[in-house]
Structure 1
Amino acid sequence: MPQDAEFASLVDAPGFDRRSFIVTALGAGFALATQPVAAQTAIVTDAAGLVAGEVRVPVRDGQMVAYRAAPAGQQKLPVVLVVSEIFGVHEYIRDVCRRLAKLGYFAVAPELFARQGDPRSIDSIPDILARITGRTPDAQVMADLDACVAWAGAQGADAGRLGITGFCWGGRITWLYCAHNPAVRAGVAWYGRLVGAVNEFTPRHPADLTGELKAPVLGLYGGLDTGIPLDTVEAMESALKRGSPAARASEIHLYDNAPHAFHADYRPSYRREDAVDGWQRLLSWLRDKGV
Structure 2
Amino acid sequence: MDNKAEFDSLVPAQGFDRRSFLVTSLGAGFALATMPVAAQTAIRTDATGLLAGEVRVPVGDGEMVAYRAAPEGVAKAPVVLLISEIFGVHEYIRDTARRLAKLGYFVVAPELFARQGDPRKIDSVAEIIEKISSKTPDAEVMKDLDASVAWAAKQGADTTRLAITGFCWGGRITWLYSAHNPGVKAGVAWYGRLVSPVNSYNPRHPIDLVGELKAPVLGLYGGVDTGIPVETVDAMEAALKKGSPAAQASQMHLYDNAPHAFHADYRPSYHKEEAEDGWQRMLAWFRKNGV
How high is the TM-score relative to the length of structure 2? 0.93
CA distance in 2, matches of 1:173, 1:42: 24
CA distance in 1, matches of 2:276, 2:140: 32
CA distance in 2, matches of 1:182, 1:253: 24
CA distance in 2, matches of 1:136, 1:66: 16
CA distance in 2, matches of 1:38, 1:178: 31
CA distance in 1, matches of 2:245, 2:145: 23
Amino acid across the alignment from 1:128: I
The equivalent of 1:13 in structure 2 is none
Amino acid across the alignment from 1:216: P
Amino acid across the alignment from 1:43: I
- Correspondences of 1:209-224 after superposition (within 5 Å): 209-224=209-224
Aligned length, in residue pairs: 274
2:136 equivalent to 1:160: no
- Correspondences of 1:194-233 after superposition (within 5 Å): 194-233=194-233
The equivalent of 1:25 in structure 2 is 25
The equivalent of 2:95 in structure 1 is 95
The equivalent of 2:70 in structure 1 is 70
CA distance in 2, matches of 1:174, 1:77: 20
Per-residue deviation, 1:40? 4.6
The equivalent of 1:3 in structure 2 is none
Q: Could you give the per-residue CA deviations for residues 153-195 of structure 1, whole angstroms, max 9, x where no partner exists?
A: 0000001100000000000000000000000000000000001
The equivalent of 1:178 in structure 2 is 178
CA distance in 1, matches of 2:38, 2:59: 35
Structure 2's unaligned 5+ residue stretches are 1-17
Per-residue deviation, 1:36? 1.4
Per-residue deviation, 1:20? 1.2
Q: Could you give the per-residue CA deviations for residues 54-103 of structure 1, whole angstroms, max 9, x where no partner exists?
A: 00000000000000000111110000000000000000000010000000
CA distance in 2, matches of 1:49, 1:91: 19
The equivalent of 2:270 in structure 1 is 270
CA distance in 1, matches of 2:130, 2:188: 26
2:249 equivalent to 1:249: yes
The equivalent of 1:289 in structure 2 is 289
CA distance in 2, matches of 1:30, 1:236: 32
Structure 1's unaligned 5+ residue stretches are 1-17
Amino acid across the alignment from 2:256: D
Per-residue deviation, 1:39? 4.3
* Secondary structure of residue in 1 paired with 2:214: coil
| Residues 19, 62 of structure 2: 8 Å contact kept | no
Per-residue deviation, 1:37? 2.1
2:204 equivalent to 1:191: no
| Residues 189, 218 of structure 2: 8 Å contact kept | yes
CA distance in 1, matches of 2:112, 2:195: 21
CA distance in 2, matches of 1:99, 1:264: 14
| Residues 263, 270 of structure 2: 8 Å contact kept | yes
The equivalent of 1:150 in structure 2 is 150
Q: Could you give the per-residue CA deviations for residues 97-133 of structure 1, whole angstroms, max 9, x where no partner exists?
A: 0000000000000000000000000000110001000
* Secondary structure of residue in 1 paired with 2:163: strand
Per-residue deviation, 1:145? 0.2
Name the stretch that deviates more: 33-42 or 119-128. Answer: 33-42
The equivalent of 1:235 in structure 2 is 235
Amino acid across the alignment from 2:53: G
How high is the TM-score relative to the length of structure 1? 0.93
* Secondary structure of residue in 2 paired with 1:210: helix
CA distance in 2, matches of 1:81, 1:19: 24
CA distance in 1, matches of 2:199, 2:56: 30
Q: Could you give the per-residue CA deviations for residues 225-249 of structure 1, whole angstroms, max 9, x where no partner exists?
A: 0000111000000000000000000
* Secondary structure of residue in 1 paired with 2:153: helix
CA distance in 1, matches of 2:71, 2:214: 29
The equivalent of 1:6 in structure 2 is none
The equivalent of 1:12 in structure 2 is none
* Secondary structure of residue in 1 paired with 2:278: helix
